[in-house]
Structure 1
Amino acid sequence: MDFIDVIKALGEKASRMKETIQTEEATKMAFVMPFISALGYDVFNPHEVVPEYVADLGIKKGEKVDYCILKDNAPIVIIECKHWKEDLNVHNSQLHRYFHVTSTRLGILTNGIIFKFYTDLVEPNKMDDKPFWEFNITELSEANIFELKKYHKSSFSVEQILGAASELKYSREVKRIMLEELANPTDVFVKHFVKQIHSGVMTAKVLEQFTGVVKKALNQLISEMISDRLKLALATEEDRDKIVIAEKVAENTTVSPVKEPENKVITHEIEKEAFFIVRSILRTTIDANRICHRDTQSYFGILLDDNNRKPICRFYLEGTKKYMGIFDEARKEVKLEIPSLDDIYKYADQLLATVHAYERKLEKA
């Protein structure tokens, strides 16, 4: 089985067996050790995985973290485990102490079901209070699996993981805030919309009236977007063409007859994942905000400075075979088949070289 199948099987096992797991040690044996093994590490090789890793703090001796993953005899990830029924929110202080006295930059707190990933984004060498990423292994999305692949022994890179950590952290917080606003919109959130659609005085009564309108409108929008995506996903190729034609006809009924209907380009999750991987590779060299993407009907392009004259790479991900287009010194595109998005990392040097070439031209100008 490949990595995706192994992780999904582990999630199904955890969902199926958890009620029979009575102790913390059983949780480790049934869920955590297989998880470490799924990442490509030999749990029975003390040069790769050390159980009960000593993490003494000052005069307090005998402190041990449940597992430590090693690379070249140096700790790269520490893992603290709890029973699967335990609430992890009350246990991060223990991992915090271990993190402080080891040289690792990554810590995982888990009960075998929930996995929380920590690093030191706020203050160097001090573990953040909040995880930059977490997931439930029984409810894994494709995006989570692609992210988890970065921790596999075959592709593990602290620099690339930390490069994406801040983005994961802030994306997670934005999603949390948006969910809260969708459930119970705050006055500040509602005012953002009212200012743009209401010309009168914004009284308390007006704000109260628009709160319900905004909440209903946004939830309807999300439902419609999901419905549209499902229609396209389930439709045959012939049906998709009909849907596109119907959309164009509908557009023509609401705009001037001489205006050409706009093409509908849908950016898929897999294209977003490819973009995030490229950005995580390049952000160690340039400001991540300079790396942009543009979706077209024929390819998904990634550009430097949102400039069509500075293409970094292109992706062709909607067919049965997936390709990545990279550019040589003459800016000629070379298409390469990528069976998995993980294969993007194989071309990190070429991507960096392309960006460096643009930067050198800019310096000479």
Structure 2
Amino acid sequence: MELQIQLKALAEKIDLLKDKIHTEESTKHAFVLPFINILGYDTFNPTEVVPEFTADLGLKKGEKVDYAIFQNETPILIVECKNWKEDLTIHNSQLFRYFHVTKTRFSLLTNGIEYQFYTDLEEPNKMDQKPFLEFNITNLKDNNIIEITKFHKSNFDVNSIVENASSLKYTREIKKLINDEVNSPTHEFVRIFASRAYSGRLTEKVMEEFTEVVHKAFNQTISEKVNDRLNAAINKEAEKQQEDKVEVPIEDLKIITTEEELEGYRIVVAILRRKLPTNRIVHRDTQSYFGILLDDNNRKPLCRLHLNGGNKYLGIFDKDKNESRELIESIDDIYLFEDQLLKTVDFYEKESVS
């Protein structure tokens, strides 16, 4: 969820700034580096994000690709950037040349708005001509975000991404072919349906008539399916509204989550994300305290915030899940208990191992 929020914020920034960005270098700093940072890589650490990455290519010396992202001293992704106004074309790209001389399995071509991820599905150590993942950051779909999440530092796994890349690549290609056929059916496509629906001889005139029929039938089918989905969604929302009319217990109405509690929660997430994916850190407000849980499980408290009384306290848990309250002057003092909070995560990790 946090990744989605960060990507949306970057998209809004791009819409706001792009008309003031005139060079490739500005595109890198304003659009591409923030994207790399969202993926969890430290753009200020030259051993993790290496700018102007050089790999000697036979007689060609000193050629550079814009960035290489490293994990465990090994490049996992090389990135070539263009000005945001430029169309992306892989022809003559240095990504091809660098791909086979580095240990990376992935490369990225981007202008800061359009992103194209490549691997070597068709021939080992040789970058494919077509990307397996492609998206526009200003118009992200839910499935795009799921795939982007796999490149986050905390989730990155070469084998799982490669295994899924083939399905992604060919699904995207087939969807494009289907879209082309729906908009403008080819002769071969029309013949498939005409031969099944028409018992006579498929003359040129018949094929012309069926081209229009197939085009109309496909568009009507899509419209009907869209309407079915919309009607289902409307009915579901109506049912939900009926359920929402159920009387809420008085004690629940007394719970008011304050902005200070939410800010405290964000500080805890900033600390714990070094050991946990952010979607595993969940908050639940109660009348007595603001609880922060692992996996939304009451039996796995990470900490509690007691902020609504005369004094403010941070509740920290030991390995036996006993809470001790630490007095804090403000929510910024939560940072002082970083070690104790991270140790709580370790308790649960040991439980899962045993």
Matched, 1:26 2:20: no
Residue 47 of structure 1, CA deviation: 2.5
Q: Which runs of 5+ in 1 are unaligned?
A: 241-336, 340-365
Matched, 1:223 2:217: no
Between the aligned partners of 1:111 and 1:120, the Cα distance in structure 2 is: 22
Contact residue 27 and residue 84 of structure 2 kept, 8 A: yes
In the other structure, the counterpart of 1:123 is 123
CA offset digits 1:186-216 (Å, max 9, x no partner): 1111111112211111111111111101101
Between the aligned partners of 1:237 and 1:113, the Cα distance in structure 2 is: 34
Residue 90 of structure 1, CA deviation: 5.2
Query: Are residues 180 and 42 of structure 1, via their aligned partners in 2, closer, same or farther at CA, if it must alter by over 3 Å?
Result: same
Percent identity over paired residues: 57
Contact residue 90 and residue 129 of structure 2 kept, 8 A: no
Q: Which amino acid aligns with 2:223?
A: S
Contact residue 108 and residue 118 of structure 1 kept, 8 A: yes
Q: Which amino acid aligns with 1:37?
A: N
Q: CA RMSD in A?
A: 2.3
TM-score if structure 2 supplies the norm length? 0.66
Pairing 1:266-345 to 2, within 5 Å after superposition: none
Between the aligned partners of 1:14 and 1:22, the Cα distance in structure 2 is: 13
In the other structure, the counterpart of 2:78 is 78
Matched, 1:11 2:23: no
Contact residue 27 and residue 83 of structure 2 kept, 8 A: yes
Residue 236 of structure 1, CA deviation: 4.6
Query: Are residues 91 and 8 of structure 1, via their aligned partners in 2, closer, same or farther at CA, if it must alter by over 3 Å?
Result: farther
Q: Which amino acid aligns with 2:176?
A: R
Partner secondary structure for residue 135 of structure 1: strand
CA offset digits 1:114-159 (Å, max 9, x no partner): 0011111111111111111210001100110011100000000010
Partner secondary structure for residue 44 of structure 2: coil
Query: Are residues 338 and 158 of structure 1, via their aligned partners in 2, closer, same or farther at CA, if it must alter by over 3 Å?
Result: farther
Contact residue 120 and residue 127 of structure 1 kept, 8 A: yes
Query: Are residues 133 and 236 of structure 1, via their aligned partners in 2, closer, same or farther at CA, if it must alter by over 3 Å?
Result: closer
Matched, 1:146 2:153: no
Partner secondary structure for residue 129 of structure 1: coil
Partner secondary structure for residue 88 of structure 1: coil
TM-score if structure 1 supplies the norm length? 0.64
Residue 36 of structure 1, CA deviation: 0.3
Between the aligned partners of 1:137 and 1:238, the Cα distance in structure 2 is: 33
Partner secondary structure for residue 213 of structure 1: helix
Matched, 1:188 2:188: yes
Q: Which amino acid aligns with 2:196?
A: Q
Between the aligned partners of 2:234 and 2:27, the Cα distance in structure 1 is: 39
Q: Which amino acid aligns with 2:32?
A: V
Residue 224 of structure 1, CA deviation: 1.6
Contact residue 88 and residue 111 of structure 1 kept, 8 A: yes
Contact residue 92 and residue 109 of structure 1 kept, 8 A: no
Residue 94 of structure 1, CA deviation: 1.9
Partner secondary structure for residue 30 of structure 1: helix
Query: Are residues 338 and 148 of structure 1, via their aligned partners in 2, closer, same or farther at CA, if it must alter by over 3 Å?
Result: farther
Residue 235 of structure 1, CA deviation: 3.4
Q: Which amino acid aligns with 1:32?
A: V
Partner secondary structure for residue 89 of structure 2: helix
CA offset digits 1:228-262 (Å, max 9, x no partner): 2122223355569xxxxxxxxxxxxxxxxxxxxxx
In the other structure, the counterpart of 1:203 is 203
For these two proteins, the number of residue pairs brought into alignment is 246
